[in-house]
Amino acid sequence: MQLSSTLSSLVDAAADSADADRFLAELGAHLLADGLPLAGGALTLDIPHPLIARRTWLWRADNGEVIEALGFTPGVPPATPGVSPANDAGRRWLATIAAGPVHEDTIGSRHDGPLLTWLGPRPFTPSETNELRQAARFAAAPLAVLAARATLAAAMEAYLGRRSAARVLAAPLRRDIGEIIRAALLYADLRGFTALSDNNPPAVVISALDAWFDRIAGAIHAFGGEVLKFIGDGILAIFPVVGGTPRGACDAALRAVSAARVGMAHLDDRCHSAD
Asked whether 244 and 203 are in contact (CB, 8 A), the reply is no
Q: Which of 57, 24, 44 is nearest to 108 (CA)?
A: 44
Q: Looking at the domain assignment, is residue 168 inside a domain?
A: no
Residues 214, 142, single domain; the answer is: no
Number of other CB atoms surrounding residue 184 within 10 Å: 20
CA distance 30 to 5: 6
The C-alpha atoms of residue 15 and residue 4 are separated, in whole angstroms, by: 18
Number of domains comprising the chain: 2
Q: What is the pLDDT of residue 93?
A: 61
Say if 161 falls within a structural domain: no
Kindly state whether residue 160 falls inside one of the protein's structural domains.
Answer: no
Q: Which residues of the chain carry a pLDDT beneath 70?
A: 1-3, 13-18, 47-54, 70-102, 104-112, 158-161, 171-178, 271-275
Residue 106: its pLDDT value, please?
67
Q: Are residues 138 and 211 in the same domain?
A: no
Identify whether the C-beta of residue 215 lies closer than 8 Å to the C-beta of residue 264: yes
pLDDT of residue 96: 61
Question: What would the DSSP string read from start to end of 30-83?
Answer: HHHHTT---SEEEEEEE---SS-SEEEEEEETTT--EEE-TT--TTPPPSBTTB
pLDDT for the residue numbered 250: 93
- Which CATH number do you get for residue 242? 3.30.70.1230
Spatial contact of 89 and 71, defined as CB atoms under 8 Å apart: yes
CA 195 from chain centre, in angstroms, equals 34
The answer to whether the CB of 116 falls within 8 A of the CB of 131 is no
**R_g of the chain computed on alpha carbons:** 22
Q: For residue 232, what are the domain limits? A: 180-274
pLDDT tens-digit series, residues 101-149: 667 666 655 556 788 888 888 888 889 989 898 888 888 888 888 877 7
User: Residues 210, 134: one domain?
Assistant: no
Does 16 fall in a domain? yes
Let me know whether 191 and 147 are in one domain: no
